[in-house]
Structure 1
């Protein structure tokens, strides 16, 4: 009996040691890894003004979310490394762990949610048309847009193409690969309109005054939110959410927002 009790004691002690060892061997959080590495890797397409734009001549990113990424890196105490991606390959790059966080006008989708976590939303909007000002009154509804002869232009691989293909059946959908110059196609008459995020239509209207007009951006066709797409790590999400909360309360978020959107 004494031998049995002794064996039980040995097993309990061994189990305790194993549990203690496994606890100490738990991998660090993504947040810890970023701090230890000294670098925050930020995935960006560089083709979505005013959120992100890559100047290919200089290799420099600029935009609202570039400023936000720099601010996040500062509070983390690390350098920011921008990693160029593209809308059609963003999911694959995310799964391949090429960056810790995707920024630059990223919309929340359930497909993306399956792969990672989203921060607190930074913007609420939806898809709305942008067209030549002379034609804007013709494209107030999906029904008015979805007619034979209407040319709807989209950039490939993102939520704009997905929205167009889900709602446009009679009109022509024209895929155009350069999201930076795509609005010039509308301005010069090679396409009739694009349905994109309301924030982008407002910005492009500013860039093309009197030529391109945002169509009811305050009443978009659908509901969407933008946020920052994080690798699945609760500690990192909690940190980013708290940083956003503080930024929105102390006015620093508004200051950066106003610099690009107002």
Structure 2
């Protein structure tokens, strides 16, 4: 009897271990498919990518993730957070990936895995439409410029500002909408953000805002990101395959025209960031 009990215990232990290994072997893509849901962290104050319109989420991200989710076979659930909480939330495993999107930098590539590029993220300036004192980027010398806290655009602005004399006062904001409001009211001289974002803002309110050309930042790209671990590799690959499919069938270009005003040629794979 004791031998039989020991044998049963041994079999149970083996079965438990096998189940644990099998569960552990499921990668992120497999788990997402089993759940039927892709959880995505973002900040819905970043038009034209993610924003609230009439109380509902709108923007490029919503449409593109819906198309990708259809290809992968899952629904997409967005979690709206302040931007400086999004990446810590990803690190803590509160969601599967980040929409954002993020400007891809060397430092970020060391820490996170990125999808293929989805938009141009070159940094530029937004000014008031009637401000004749700013005709080129260098004209912000001695002026006050806003940018979003913890953003790559803020970092680029500070680097650029160091090259100007007199110096530039950089004012940080929790979200870009607050910065745009202060610019419109005259509390700022300009706002730094990606050319894609500010072109959209200027298009929506042409009597209030104008884009300063050319952009001052280095050529960089927007992409979505996930944790940089073996567990996430399958999801990243599946997402990139879906993006490639949308590029080939013309749906990606259609969404770019809808939200950016023009289809943008992008590299198939992420190039080495300029900074």
Please indicate the TM-score interval, normalised by the length of the shorter structure.
0.7 to 0.9
CA distance in 1, matches of 2:239, 2:183: 38
1:152 aligned partner: 145
Between 30-39 and 120-129, report the one with greater CA deviation. Answer: 120-129
Partner of 1:242: 241
Give SS of 1:234's match: helix
Looking at structure 1, the residues matched to 124 and 76 of structure 2 have their Cα atoms a distance apart, in angstroms, of 33
Q: Which residue of 2 aligns with 1:8?
A: none
Give the CA deviation at 1:38: 1.2
Partner residue, 1:79: 75
Aligned Cα root-mean-square deviation (Å): 2.4
Alignment of 1:98 onto 2:94: yes
Once residues 83 and 159 of structure 2 are traced to their aligned partners in structure 1, the CA distance between those partners, rounded to angstroms, is 18
Whole-angstrom CA distance in 2 between matches of 1:75 and 1:226? 21
For the residues of structure 2 that align with 1:182 and 1:252, how far apart are their CA atoms? 32
- In structure 1, stretches of 5+ residues that fail to align are 1-16
Q: Per-residue displacement from partner, 1:209-238 (whole Å, max 9, x unpaired)?
A: 132111115x44212101111233221111
The 2-side partners of 1:108 and 1:86 are apart by 19
Shift of 1:61: 1.6
The alignment status of 1:33 with 2:31, answered yes or no, reads: yes
Could you give the per-residue CA deviations for residues 115-150 of structure 1, whole angstroms, max 9, x where no partner exists? 3210111123411111012325625134x3232xx1
SS in 2 for 1:223: coil
Alignment of 1:178-257 (within 5 A): 178-216=175-213, 219-232=215-228, 233-257=232-256
**CA–CA distance in 2 between the matches of 1:90 and 1:110?**
19
Which has the higher Rg, Structure 1 or Structure 2? Answer: 1
The reply to whether residue 53 of structure 1 matches residue 51 of structure 2 is yes
The residue that corresponds to 2:61 in the other structure is 65
Matched with 2:259 is 260
In structure 1, the partner of 2:11 is none
Query: Deviation per CA, 1:45-100, whole angstroms, max 9, x where unpaired?
Result: 00000100135x74x32110111111122222222111112222222111011111
Q: Secondary structure at the match of 1:222?
A: coil
Q: How many corresponding residue pairs?
A: 238
1: CA distance, partners of 2:40 / 2:87? 14
The residue matched to 2:207 in structure 1 has which SS? coil
Q: Helix, strand or coil for the counterpart of 2:102?
A: coil
Query: Structure 2 vs 1, CA of residues 36 and 194 (structure 1 numbering), >3 Å: closer, same or farther?
Result: same
| Residue number in structure 2 paired with 1:3 | none
Describe the SS at the equivalent of 1:190.
coil
Contact 1:85/1:93 (8 A) holds in 2: no
**1:163 is matched with which residue: 156, 170, 173?**
156
Deviates more, 1:154-163 or 1:132-141: 132-141
Going from structure 1 to structure 2, the CA distance change for 1:222 and 1:255 (only over 3 Å counts) comes to same
Question: What SS does the aligned partner of 1:138 have?
Answer: coil
Query: What runs of 5+ residues in structure 2 fail to find an aligned partner?
Result: 1-13, 262-275
